[in-house]
Structures are given as C-alpha cells and as structure tokens.
C-alpha cells in the first residue's frame, strides 16, 4: 500500500550537469534550479487534465516548458 502524501517532499535531481530541486506536495509538483525560487509548477489537477499528453507516452518536457519555463 502506498503512503499518503500529506506534506512536501524535496529531492535533488541532476539533468545534463545542472542540479534541480523537485518538490512534490499535496498541492502539486514544482521543479526549480537548485538555489532558485522560480521554476516550473503544476497542480495535480492540471497534470491530470493533461493526462493523455503528459502521461500517455508523450514528453512531459513539452507540456511543462511551454509558457511556464524557468525564468
């Protein structure tokens, strides 16, 4: 059985030599450059609405990068 997500979980992720902080919370998902404040943020509702594109074999990079890119 999975554990219920009741508080934010922070993890560090390295992609192509760049370090990011990934925060998964009951509200949604946020990815920021390590030490930065601005990044990509999506609510779970938004991610589920994108469902077939983001989850159905499509690239999340396309849906996450457009319009809400890291500033």
What's the rounded Cα separation, in Å, for the pair 39 and 30?
7
Answer yes or no: is 57 within a domain: no
Give the list of residues 6+ apart from residue 44 with CB closer than 8 angstroms, or none.
27, 28, 29
> Is residue 13 situated within a structural domain?
yes
Res. 4: pLDDT tops 90: yes
Rounded Cα distance, 9 and 26, in Å:
10
Residue 30 belongs to what domain range? 9-50
> Which helix or strand (DSSP H or E) is residue 37 part of?
none
pLDDT at 19: 97
Please report, to the nearest 10 degrees, the dihedral formed by the alpha carbons of residues 36, 42, 44, 46 taken in order: 180
Q: What is the pTM of this model?
A: 0.65
Residue 26 lies in a domain: yes
Look at residue 16 and tell me if it is in a domain.
yes
pLDDT digits (tens, 9 = 90+) for 10-67: 999 999 999 999 999 999 999 999 988 899 999 999 989 877 555 554 444 444 444 3
Tell me, yes or no, whether 55 lies in a domain: no
Domain count, the chain: 1
């Amino acid at each position: 059985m999975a554990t219920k997500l009741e508080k934010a979980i922070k993890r560090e992720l390295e992609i192509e030599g760049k370090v990011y902080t990934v925060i998964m919370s009951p509200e949604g998902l946020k990815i920021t450059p390590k030490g930065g404040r601005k990044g990509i943020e999506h609510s779970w509702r938004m991610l589920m609405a994108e469902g077939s594109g983001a989850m159905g074999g499509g690239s999340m990079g396309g849906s996450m990068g457009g319009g809400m890119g890291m500033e």
